[in-house]
Structure formats: structure tokens, C-alpha cells
Amino acid sequence: MRIVVSGAAGFIGSHMCDRLLADGHTVVALDNLLTGSRGNLAHLAQEPRFRWIEQDITRPFTIDGPVDSVVNLASPASPKDYLEHPIETLEVGSSGTHHMLQLALEKGARFLLSSTSECYGDPMVHPQVETYWGNVNPVGPRSCYDESKRFAEAFTMAYHRKHGLRTNIARIFNTYGPRMKLNDGRVVPAFLDCALRGEPITVFGSGSQTRSFCYVSDLVDGLCRLMMSEERYPVNLGNPSEMTILEFAEYIQRHPGVRGVYPADYGDAVDIGV
């Protein structure tokens, strides 16, 4: 297939490009480099089945030639990034997604949207099932991301219902792996950064909050399988086994060079010692 990937220079986008090329596809990679990095794709510079276009998908654009699949991964995704770029985050989920949907319709291509577990907001149901509609604050600090992705999901379903577009929606849970920025702000790179620098790890709150961490190649495998499936409603993608943040900190602490695990200076923090 000839596949257009937006957000291609991002953490997940660059791994998606690698996987699609390894599977024998041709990739047209789009990114405006707002939060992505050209370095994530540098190893593909000589790849004849790979084409790079620096493009902001919130602006109108055209792609020459046939397209079989459109994969929409463009968005700031870490809280640090979307809090710094709230307007761009809302625009890429709305007009950016619209342009990618239009491209898929014009080309007769299938369409895959990367959405997020943030669609569930501050959930009242654990674990979150796809049939749960969420508990979302439309005006909170994270709303630029949550509502952008919820709007993108609604846009995708509208194109499916109105135009019969072959669409898929992936709700991505915490994912980690190579090319994640160490200063990304999320817990896996934050703890690894502390460990690598020999600094104490900071656990926010009691550390009893749970998360599950999915390795990026598993996530990309899920995206590829979903893209080929007949499922039109959102599908959660992630690791089903949860651990507490404290357990994760202790796991990192067991590795050489890590000085200790300290609570943050607020909330019901507990000191688990060095």
C-alpha cells in the first residue's frame, strides 16, 4: 500500500513509518516539526519507498498520486507539549483531522485516527472500557487535548456515517520506547532521566495511582492490525496489566546508579526510603 502518515516525525509516528516500510509499504511522511524531530526519521533518508514532506496539516495541502491508507498521528501528545501549544493542539485535532479525512475520501483510502485514553477524562470506571463515555472537563487545563481528540473521533465517525469512509479509531494508553524525549514530562522518561543522571526519583502523591505501560512496537503492531480490521468503533490499545507508580519507581530504583526514590513535597506523599 501507499500510506500517508501525519505526525511521522513524532515518537509513535516514526516507529509506525519503520513498521510500514518493513512490511513492504510505501510511506509519505508529513510533519510540521512542532513537537516531532527530523532526527527520528534520519535513518530513512536513503530509503526509496520513503518520502518526507514538511507539512502543517491544519493548512490545506495535496498529495500527488494514489493513496491506499491515511494514518493520522499528528498531535502534541505529552501534557508538557499540549499545555505549551493548546491552540495548535485544538487545531490539529479539528482542521488537521478534517484535511486528513478529506484526503482519504478523495483518494478512496482507508483512514486510521490515533486517539487517546484521555478521551475518558478523569474516569469513574476502572479499567476503562470502550463503551464508557468518560468524565471529561471541557474547560480544565487538559481540555485542549481531551476535547481535540474527542472532536477528532466525532469527525471520523461523521465521515464514516456520511461518506461510508473505512475508518478506525485507536485509543492509545501509556506507551514508551526509544525516541521518546527524556524531558517529555511523562513518568517513564522522567524516572529514566533521573536514573541516568543519578538523581533521586520523585513520586507524586502516594504513588498508589496505577498505570500500564505498552512498549511502542506492540502499540504499532496494534495500530497495523486495527487498520486492517472491520472495527469502526474506538478500540483501546495498551498493556492490560497495571502497576502502581510506586512499584514502577521501586523497579527503576533496583538498577545500578539510581540514588533513591523520594516523594514530591505535597499531597499524601510517602517516603519509601533510599
Active site residues: 145
CB of 111 to ligand UDP, least distance (A): 26
**Cβ closest to ligand UDP, residue 23 vs residue 247:** 247
Query: Which of 77, 165, 203, 219 touches ligand UDP by CB under 6 A?
Result: 203
Residue in 45, 10, 50 with CA at minimum distance from that of residue 179 = 10
CB 214 within 8 A of CB 253: no
User: Is residue 211 involved in binding ligand UDP (CB under 6 A)?
Assistant: yes
Question: Is 122 in contact with 137 (CB distance < 8 Å)?
Answer: yes
> Does 180 contact ligand UDP by CB under 6 A?
no
6 vs 78 by CB, closer to ligand UDP: 78
Q: Among 37, 94, 202, 212, indicate the residue that binds ligand UDP (CB under 6 A).
A: 202
- Residue placing its CB nearer to ligand UDP in the complex, 69 or 78: 78
Please give the C-alpha separations between residue 65 and each of 22, 26, 229, in angstroms, as whole numbers: 22, 12, 25
Contact pick of 204, 226, 250, 272 for ligand UDP (by CB under 6 A): 204
209 contacts ligand UDP (rule: CB under 6 A): yes
Scan residues 102-161 and list those touching ligand UDP (CB under 6 A). Answer: none
Q: Is 245 in the site for ligand UDP (CB under 6 A)?
A: yes
187 binds ligand UDP (CB under 6 A): yes
**Range 50-89, binding ligand UDP (CB under 6 A):** 79
**Which among 35-43, 144-152, 155-163, 183-191 is the span making contact with ligand UDP, rule CB under 6 A?**
183-191
State the residues that interact with ligand UDP by CB under 6 A. Answer: 79, 174, 186-187, 190, 202-204, 209, 211, 245
